[in-house]
Amino acid sequence: MGRCVLIGVFDSGVGGLSVVKQLLKAFNSDIIYLGDTARLPYGTKSKETVLKYSIQNAEFLMRFNVDAIVVACNTASSVAIDVLKKKFNLPVFGVIEPAAKLAAKFEKVCVIGTTSTIQSNAYPKKIAKYNKGCRVTQRACPLFVPLVEEGWIYDDITYEVAKRYLYDLECDALILGCTHYPLLREIIQRVMGVGVSLIDSGEALVKGLKDFKDLFEGSGRLNCYTTDSEEKFAKLGSMFLGKQFNGVKLVDLG
């Protein structure tokens, strides 16, 4: 891997900005972010469709001569990462492998994510690569994303939904396999109990990249592109980036 000044990051929507937040904190790279809000969510769609969208997103980022691509979306990482690595001649980082590597240190692991992420079995396969003896259970939680987008983060209803999804899961560590889920960390921890380690897939990715820290440079600039309303992107996105921002540009990938 060469010097990395400009990183291209894509996600189905604004959730990946939580990964950007951590990237900006850890490194000084410049970032081009693409949120494919006109076609979100990815997590309910077929792998063929998610693969097509992921390639289009990566092709858009390539126009900026990025030095590396980060796939901040768990669903896109689950189904597209190998194809993207083969197709594009630059480093491509996804959120599955780093979280799987961390989780593999535990005996019993649960993975929660979108329907497509869970159906892909990407996490169990990667965990087995690091620890064949690790017992992995998976659970799709389709309502978590709309609940977060509704802003019901610390809500009794969200707690009831979390109980419904998670009550019977037993594990030492739980992978939050979707960029929206860290916002529900408090409720999920309450349901799972304090003894369960929560693994944030975006956090794990940035932690992993720190091994290459010396390769990153830049001035910490962020440029955002969206395929739907710029205004809505900036408004919802600030929840994930942890601060207000503007200058979002509209792009048509269809």
Task: Compute the least distance from the CB of residue 194 to its own copies, in Å.
Answer: 25
Q: Does 228 bind its own copies (CB under 8 A)?
A: yes
Whether the Cβ atoms of residue 166 and residue 188 lie closer than 8 Å to each other: yes
Cross-strand pairs, 11: 35
Does 110 participate in catalysis according to the annotation?
A: no
Residue 74 marked as a ligand binder: yes
State which of positions 16-55 bind its own copies (CB under 8 A). Answer: 37-39, 44-46, 48-49, 52
**Residue 208 annotated as part of some ligand binding site:** no
Six-digit token string for 122: 């990407």
Does position 232 bind its own copies by CB under 8 A? yes
Is-cis flag, bond preceding 146, omega within 30?
A: no
Q: Rank residues 155 and 172 by Cβ distance to its own copies and give the closer one.
A: 155
Count residues binding its own copies (CB under 8 A).
25
Residues numbered 124-163 forming contacts with its own copies, rule: CB under 8 A: 142-143, 146-147, 149-150, 156-157, 160-161
Task: From 120, 25, 26, 124, select the one nearest 79 (Cα to Cα).
Answer: 120
Place of tokens 């009794």: 156
Query: Contact between 59 and its own copies (CB under 8 A)?
Result: no
167 binds its own copies (CB under 8 A): no
Residues paired with 93 in a beta bridge: 70
Distance CA 56, CA 144 (A): 26
Instruction: Give one DSSP letter per residue of 168-212, joined into a string.
Output: T---SEEEEESTTGGGGHHHHHHHH-TTSEEEEHHHHHHHHHGGG
11 annotated as a binding-site residue: yes
Report the C-alpha gap between 21 and 31 in whole angstroms. Answer: 10
Residue 229 interacts with its own copies (CB under 8 A): yes or no: yes
Find the length of the chain. 254
Asked if residue 223 binds its own copies (CB under 8 A), the reply is no
158 is in an annotated binding site: no
Q: Is 254 in the site for its own copies (CB under 8 A)?
A: yes
Of the residues 110, 134, 171, 178, only one is catalytic, namely 178
Active site residue 178: yes
Do residues 70 and 23 lie in contact, with contact meaning Cβ atoms separated by under 8 Å? Answer: yes
Amino acid at 57: N
Amino acid identity, residue 221? R
Does position 246 bind its own copies by CB under 8 A? no
Name the catalytic one among 73, 110, 134, 141.
73
User: What are the catalytic residues?
Assistant: 73, 178
Q: Which residues bind its own copies (CB under 8 A)?
A: 37-39, 44-46, 48-49, 52, 142-143, 146-147, 149-150, 156-157, 160-161, 164, 227-229, 232, 254
